Structure 1
Amino acid sequence: MESKSRSANDCGTVVVIDDDVAVRNSLKFTLEVEGFTVRIFADGQELLDDKPLTPSDCLVVDQNLPRMRGLELIAELRRRNNKVPAILITTNPSDAVRRQASAAGVPIVEKPLLNSLLFDAIRRAMPNPPPVN
């Protein structure tokens, strides 16, 4: 039986939205080393103005974004019928944020980020994650 390896295109893209350029670039680098394809954005509006997401993508969204909070961005995407999986990243989330994220089915990974926790959350969220390196 022959097994086919999946290309990066088959695996979807991790879409990172964070207003901190150092966080964006660090996540892009570490996720690419792990085999993920990555797109980065500074805020939610940049993402909304860009090309559409696909069902095999996964969002990694900072809660404390300018113009639109992370959970607001996820809600807006869902209002637009884009059900892409999402992970919220934030420092010290309030009880209200935890409740809202839970109600929306969005896991939270707290900053400072532990790469292994984030990678595991992304692999669980994506329908076709790339193989583990």
Structure 2
Amino acid sequence: MAAILVIEDDEFFQNFLELVLSGEGHDVRIAVDGEAGLAAASTLPPDLILCDMSMPKMTGFEVIRELKKIDVIKDIPVIALSAHDTSADHDEAFTAGAAAYETKPIEMDRLIDSVNKALAGEFPNGG
């Protein structure tokens, strides 16, 4: 079982991700925006972070860049989540430090596979 932090402003996706990930035996915490996510990750570092890219106040790209500046959490893998499936968004997420990029609507089996790979350190940009 891994500790997973979900940074997501949409309540539907919060509930969906919590249901799927807890169903796989993971301990899931939710942060409703980027600032709350940074605070939650710094206070109690998780094993993995799933972060929405389109949020108010602070984009997911900004969140990932900030996460990677903090020594105690910079190596935690981050899976970027977005409704936008453009190469520019993929490039920006990976440049910021994301380990993987999943497009919404999220396919449950693919998400579980990405989570397992990220936790196992199987992505080249793992953390």
Specify if TM > 0.5.
yes
Aligned to 1:77: 67
Aligned to 1:120: 113
Aligned to 2:23: 33
Aligned to 1:45: 35
Following superposition, the deviation at residue 52 of structure 1 comes to 3.2
CA contact (8 A) 2:80 2:98 kept: no
- Summarize the Cα distance change of 1:16–1:96 in structure 2 as closer, same or farther, 3 Å threshold: same
1:38 is paired with a residue of what secondary structure? strand
Q: Number of aligned residue pairs: give it.
A: 116
Per-residue displacement from partner, 1:82-117 (whole Å, max 9, x unpaired)? Answer: 221010111123332211223335311110000111
CA contact (8 A) 2:51 2:81 kept: yes
Q: Structure 2 matches for 1:40-119, cutoff 5 A?
A: 40-50=30-40, 51-54=43-46, 57-81=47-71, 82=73, 83-103=75-95, 104-119=97-112
Following superposition, the deviation at residue 80 of structure 1 comes to 1.1
Q: Which has the higher contact order (CA 8 A, sep 6+)?
A: 1
Distance 1:67 1:127 in 2: 32
1:16 is paired with a residue of what secondary structure? strand
TM-score between the two structures when normalised by the length of structure 1: 0.79
Distance 1:29 1:99 in 2: 29
- Point out where structure 1 has 5 or more consecutive residues left out of the alignment: 1-7, 129-133
Which sits farther off after the overlay, 92-101 or 20-29?
92-101
1:79 is paired with a residue of what secondary structure? coil
